[in-house]
Structure 1
Amino acid sequence: MQANPEEAPLPVNMLNIAGLERLDPQAPVVMLNLMRFHARSRDGDGSGWDAYLRYSAVTVPMIKARGGTLLWTGEAKAVALGPHAGSDWDFVALVHYPTVTAFLDMMTSEAYEREADPHRVNGCAEHLIIATSEAYSKFSLG
């Protein structure tokens, strides 16, 4: 689960507020998180994975406080279909929020910026979050 340590640093805040504001603010959303970790945390405190675990310890209570839940996480193993270049992710997470507003509230909060995001930035060489809407689910979220 480690990326090349020579990769360019992850910008501190790449939150696409304009894109999220085009969505229905009261609609439920599942965020697909794709992560690639630094071999070493940028703050020198363990590996990128260690920094991500610190990030998770802070964010999971923030998610739950807004009515959200962690649906699924797992290690990314291999690209099964599609281009391989740039698709070498280490970890995947699906996080449900009751509304887009709840996600934005968390991501723009002072507590997130101060207590959580530094761990994410230290651990992740790349972190992509895709907002999704449900087309079909075996599991009812509503």
Structure 2
Amino acid sequence: MPLCTLHLVALDPAHSNAQQSFLSALKSAKLSPLVLSRVIRWIILPSTFSTEHLLARNIHWDFLIILPGTDALAASLQPLILHTWRITAGVPSRLTQDFAAKNHKMLQPEPGSVPQLNNDALEAKQTTSSAQNLELSAELKDWIRTFSTADAPEAKGAVSMFNLLSFRPDMKSSYLEYGKAFASSIGSSHGGNAKIVGGVTHVNGTARAKEAQDGVGWDEIALAHYPSILHFADMLADKEYQDVNHKYRVPALRDTAILMTSEMGLEGWGEGGKAKL
């Protein structure tokens, strides 16, 4: 099973035009990411694992980069980086094969191929007090309302949710039931697609067996695609989705984290032109 490493990068704000400088340096390093996306915001915060690396000092993450293999980022990029965190996973070859072509179709879908949004306006959707159980909280709904009306490529285009997953003992089978339902109905009906899924082997370069003593630590990663943030909101507000979420997903997880990212506006970063940031 091919190994892929997911890198979170926080840039040093002391550098002028830090994001564009980093993209130029990434191109010069001749790296070929499966995914290069800009981090937008946390949807769910980790509560137990890797919090000192992911949340300490109120880190603002700039990019998510998914590279084949296990190497750290090139040394030439380090002067631009303030913080970085990486996690390596074995990803089935059926997912990585022809990934660029499949990913392009998701980012630039053919007319009529994207599920229609729910007829209920965002304003009418019921909310909860927190998004930690992958529900539509009042705060998240307010943020989506503002974000989706902005004049930016990611406001109307596809988004990807980077998931970190830690399972309770003997509860992975419950999460697999959620995954089956996500792929067949509750996610796919809203355009959801788990485009990268893998079992964790290393965290920050340390083998999981050592980092996660007694089976405690991150077990899997997933990158889930949605045609837009409004499709994601539709899913969270869907009663059928929440019935399955609370029956299978929530009880299965000891800890989880979700970061919203977007590849929109970055498609041309390696083709000689400037990415639209």
TM-score, with length taken from structure 1: 0.70
Whole-Å separation in 1 of the counterparts to 2:241 and 2:136: 16
Q: Is the 8 A contact 1:55 1:120 kept in 2?
A: yes
Match runs of 1:32-51 below 5 Å = 32-39=162-169, 47-51=170-174
Secondary structure at 1:34's aligned position in 2? strand
**Which residue, out of 127, 137, 141, partners 2:256?**
127
Aligned counterparts of 1:114 and 1:15: Cα–Cα separation in 2: 11
Higher strand share: 2
Render the CA deviation track for 1:57-108: whole Å, top value 9, x for unaligned. 11222222122322110011121259x79x9310001111001011111112
Report deviation, 1:137. Answer: 5.9
Contact 2:193–2:225, Cα closer than 8 Å, also in 1: yes
- Among 189, 209, 213, the alignment partner of 1:65 is 189
Task: Point out where structure 2 has 5 or more consecutive residues left out of the alignment.
Answer: 1-47, 49-130, 149-154, 269-277
Cα-Cα RMSD: 3.0
Aligned counterpart, 2:247: 118
The aligned residue for residue 201 of structure 2 is 77
Please name the residue that 1:55 is paired with.
178
Partners of 1:116 and 1:98 lie apart in 2 by 20
Gaps of 5+ in 1: 1-6, 40-46
For structure 1, which segment, 121-130 or 18-27, has the greater mean C-alpha deviation from structure 2 after superposition? 18-27
- Residues of 2 paired with 1:91 and 1:54: CA distance? 15
Q: Residue 119 of structure 1: CA displacement?
A: 0.5
- 2:143 pairs with 1:13: no
Rg (Cα) greater in structure: 2
Looking at secondary structure, tell me which structure has more helix per residue. 2
Asked if the contact 1:28–1:99 (Cα under 8 Å) also holds between the matched residues in 2, the reply is yes
